Amino acid sequence: MPQDLPFNRPLVEKYDRPGPRYTSYPTAPQFHAAFAEDDYRAAAERSNRAESPKPLSVYVHIPFCKSLCYYCACNKIITHNTERAAEYLEWLKQEIRVQAALFDASRRMTQLHLGGGTPTYLSNAQLGELMEALDAAFHFAPPEAREFSLEVDPRTVTPEQIHELRALGFNRLSFGVQDFDADVQQAVNRIQSEEQVVALVQAAREAGFQSVSVDLIYGLPLQTVASFDVTLDKIIALRPDRIAAYSYAHLPELFKAQRLIRPEDMPPPERKLELLELTIRRLSAAGYVYIGMDHFALPEDELSLARENGTLQRNFQGYSTHADCDLIGLGITSIGKVGDSYSQNVKETAQYQHRLAEGRLPVMRGYRLNDDDRLRRDVINALMCHGRIDFATIEAAHGIVFRDYFADALAELEEMAADGLLAIREGEIEVLPAGRLMMRNAAMAFDAYLARSAGRYSRTV
Residues 334-363 have pLDDT tens digits of: 999 999 999 999 999 999 999 999 999 999
Q: Which pLDDT tens digit goes with each residue over 235-278?
A: 999 999 999 999 998 989 989 999 999 999 999 988 999 999 99
Sort strands 64-65 and 77-78 into parallel, antiparallel or unpaired: parallel
Q: Give me the pLDDT at residue 47, please.
A: 97
Identify whether 117 is preceded by a cis peptide bond (ω within 30 of 0). Answer: yes
- In whole angstroms, give the CA distance from residue 438 to residue 416: 9
State whether residue 247 is helix, strand or coil: strand
Name the band, by pLDDT with cuts 50, 70 and 90, for residue 458. confident
Q: What percent of the chain has pLDDT over 70?
A: 98
Q: Which pLDDT tens digit goes with each residue over 375-403?
A: 999 999 999 999 999 999 999 999 999 99
Q: Give me the pLDDT at residue 317, please.
A: 79
Q: Give me the pLDDT at residue 454, please.
A: 53
Q: Give me the pLDDT at residue 451, please.
A: 78
Identify whether 26 is preceded by a cis peptide bond (ω within 30 of 0). Answer: yes
Please give the average per-residue pLDDT across 271-292, as a whole number. 94
Burial of 139 (0-12, 13-18, 19+ CB in 10 A): middle
- In whole angstroms, give the CA distance from residue 355 to residue 177: 36
Say if residue 329's pLDDT is above 90: yes
Instruction: Tell me the one-letter amino acid at 112.
Output: L
Q: Give me the pLDDT at residue 132, please.
A: 97
Name the band, by pLDDT with cuts 50, 70 and 90, for residue 2. very low
- In whole angstroms, give the CA distance from residue 1 to residue 281: 6
Say if residue 453's pLDDT is above 90: no
* Chain mean pLDDT for the chain: 94
Q: Give me the pLDDT at residue 452, please.
A: 65
Q: Which pLDDT tens digit goes with each residue over 27-85?
A: 999 999 999 999 999 999 999 999 999 999 999 999 999 999 999 988 899 999 999 99
Query: Under a CB-based contact definition with an 8 Å cutoff, are residues 155 and 185 in contact?
Result: no
**What pTM does this model have?**
0.94
Question: Where do runs of H (alpha helix) occur along 107-243?
Answer: 124-137, 159-167, 182-188, 194-207, 225-238
When mean pLDDT is compared across 101-105, 183-187, 352-356, 456-460, the lowest value belongs to 456-460
Q: Give me the pLDDT at residue 459, please.
A: 75
Could you tell me which residues are beta bridge partners of residue 149? 113, 172
Name the band, by pLDDT with cuts 50, 70 and 90, for residue 331. very high
Say if residue 6's pLDDT is above 50: yes
Q: Residue 200: count other Cβ atoms within 10 Å of its Cβ.
A: 21
Q: Give me the pLDDT at residue 324, please.
A: 81
- In whole angstroms, give the CA distance from residue 214 to residue 219: 17
Say if residue 289's pLDDT is above 90: yes
Q: Give me the pLDDT at residue 292, please.
A: 87
Query: Under a CB-based contact definition with an 8 Å cutoff, are residues 259 and 270 in contact?
Result: no
Say if residue 200's pLDDT is above 60: yes
Residue 259: phi, psi to the nearest 5? -70, -15
Say if residue 183's pLDDT is above 50: yes
Q: Give me the pLDDT at residue 1, please.
A: 32
Query: Under a CB-based contact definition with an 8 Å cutoff, are residues 430 and 413 in contact?
Result: no
State whether residue 438 is helix, strand or coil: helix
Please give the average per-residue pLDDT across 440-450, as a whole number. 95
Please give the average per-residue pLDDT across 139-167, as a whole number. 95
